[in-house]
Amino acid sequence: MRDLIENPDASRLACEGLSVHFGQRSALDNVSAGLHSGQITSLLGPNGAGKSTLLKVLAGLLAPSHGRVVFGEQAILKPNPAIVYVPQRTSVDWTFPVSVLDVVLMAARRRRSRLLPFGVPDRRAALDALAEVRMDHLAGVQIGQLSGGQQQRVFLARALLQDGAALLLDEPFAGVDTPTKELLISIFRGLAERGKTVICATHDLAQAADFSDQILLLNRTVVAHGAPIETMTAANLRATFGGQAILPVEQLGAAR
């Protein structure tokens, strides 16, 4: 916390000239951006624009072909405990015999000796994180029995317990109802107000314009980056989404 006061950008996450190639295909091309702490940045772009790829590179899960990621003063070459990554929900085995509480406790692995079981303080912390996403009443339920929105909240609770300085979320609103969306957004707001860097890939343009401090329009390279009102112009959106502009471009233009 002291660090944050003396140097407000101690948890600034930046990428410099990032390129990622999968074989011949280029997924990201010369992406540079500084993502500031205390702000919510939404990552917008069509399918295949490289949103997930960018998040994985920022999380240290994928090595870029060129360029680098810098977190504060430190180059990110591998996963870092301070950078918390919440993937899309599809990568999980839902039939697995674990309860909601067990899933959240997975974030406490580093704090406990492998010789000891999780203690009351660990469970307390996990239940507090669940309470924050209003899931504490379902702590004992097997994870596969939850709805999509409830599962997303459990994974956010696990991310909260990891207590990183930066939170990277891949499509957190996919398959989630409106009340849950609003709950998630209020939690993101709270994290940003506590000085965390929140980066969120999403498809919902209108909502992103509403809750984000910064918008990064991405289509393999950065089309525009800045405050919603400056970046989400009809011209920029057309440049990002091209012909598939099924989007409320006119409305967003009117909102300016």
Partner 1 sequence: MIDWFSVPLEHAFMQHAFIAIILVGIMCGATGVFVTLRGLAFMGDALSHAVFPGVVIAFLIGGNVVIGALIAGTLVSLSIGVISQNQKLSGDTAIGVLFAGAFALGIALISAQRTYTRDLASFLLGSILGVSRSDLYLTGAVAAIVVGAIGLFRRELTIVAFDPTFARATGINVWLIDQLFLVLLSLAIVISLQTVGNILVLAMLVTPAATARLLTDRLRWMVALSSAIGALSGVIGLYLSFHWNIASGASVVLVATVAFLLVYLFSPRTGIVTATIRQRRHFPHPEDDRFSSAETMPS
Which residues are at the interface with partner 1 (CB under 8 A)? 59, 61, 78-79, 81, 84-85, 87, 91-93, 96-99, 101-103, 106-107, 109-110, 114-115, 120, 123-124, 127, 136-142, 158, 162
Shortest Cβ distance from residue 78 to partner 1 (Å)?
8
Shortest Cβ distance from residue 227 to partner 1 (Å)?
30
> Is 6 or 93 the residue whose CB approaches partner 1 more closely?
93
Shortest Cβ distance from residue 127 to partner 1 (Å)?
6
- Rounded to 5 degrees, φ, ψ at 66 are -140, 160
Shortest Cβ distance from residue 170 to partner 1 (Å)?
10
Shortest Cβ distance from residue 35 to partner 1 (Å)?
18
Which amino acid is located at 34 in the chain? G
> Is 96 or 250 the residue whose CB approaches partner 1 more closely?
96
Rounded (to 5) percent helix, strand, coil in the chain? 40, 25, 35
Residue 246 per-residue DSSP state: -
> Is 140 or 243 the residue whose CB approaches partner 1 more closely?
140
> Is 91 or 244 the residue whose CB approaches partner 1 more closely?
91
HSE-CB for 206 with a 13 A CA cutoff: 9
- Measured between its terminal Cα atoms, the distance across the chain in Å is 36
Distance (Å, whole) CA 237 – CA 229 = 12
> Is 66 or 137 the residue whose CB approaches partner 1 more closely?
137
Backbone φ/ψ region at 178: left (φ over 0), alpha (ψ -120 to 50), beta? alpha
> Is 142 or 207 the residue whose CB approaches partner 1 more closely?
142
**Burial zone of 22 (CB within 10 Å; 0-12 exposed, 13-18 middle, 19+ buried):** exposed
> Is 159 or 209 the residue whose CB approaches partner 1 more closely?
159
Q: What sign for the dihedral angle of Cα 35, 218, 74, 91? A: positive
Shortest Cβ distance from residue 26 to partner 1 (Å)?
18
Contact 249, 80 (CB under 8 A): no
Element (H, E) at 221: strand 221-226
Distance (Å, whole) CA 86 – CA 68 = 21
Shortest Cβ distance from residue 65 to partner 1 (Å)?
16
